[in-house]
Amino acid sequence: MFVGYARTSTLDQTAGLEAQLRLLKTEGCERIFEEQVSSVDVRAREKLEEALSYVREGDTLVVTKLDRLARSMAHLMEIRQRLDECGTHLRIIDLNLDTTTPTGKLMLNLLGSVAEFEREIMLERQREGIAKAKAAGKYKGRAPTARAKADEVHRLKALGHGATEIAAEVGIGRASVYRILGETASSSA
């Protein structure tokens, strides 16, 4: 049985998700797990976990691209090990890669290493660019959005609203509400 997995990083990438779903159906996937979540937070990838738990011996997990599946070489190897342990295979459509063959397994390792290398190089260049922009005085970082709403947080707290309600009303996290209220309490002490 072919089991598909499709993922996009954000909710506004619906066209990309729809394209993946069409391709997985064309490839004969009988069951498809889909989600729209970043690959960075592996704990949030519930549908990937469901897909890995669903596959059985002889099944093949099918993805359209390698980066839709794994966030790093270590993560890819963890997924492959889980698939190997239950006697299932991996197929990556755009690479025409299938781990039912020794060549497919070798290529998966090589491509995973190259993908991880490319990501590390990209992050290094990004850090260098930020450092250069900071040195030139052009990079200030992200604006502190929560602290800009401190007056509104205090107003709502004075009206008797709880932290969860304040966070929802103002559009910031609960931790930010506590931080703002805590800073005020410690500065007045």
Query: Annotated catalytic sites, by residue?
Result: 9
Q: Residue 100 corresponds to which amino acid? A: T
Question: What is the C-alpha to C-alpha distance for residues 76 and 82, in angstroms, rounded to an integer?
Answer: 10
Q: Which of 165, 159, 189, 188 is nearest to 177 (CA)?
A: 165
Question: What is the C-alpha to C-alpha distance for residues 174 and 164, in angstroms, rounded to an integer?
Answer: 6
The DSSP 8-state label assigned to residue 44 in this structure reads G
82: its two tokens: 């889980």
Q: Judge whether 3 and 61 are in contact, CB under 8 Å.
A: yes
The DSSP 8-state label assigned to residue 7 in this structure reads E
Give 36's strand partners: 8
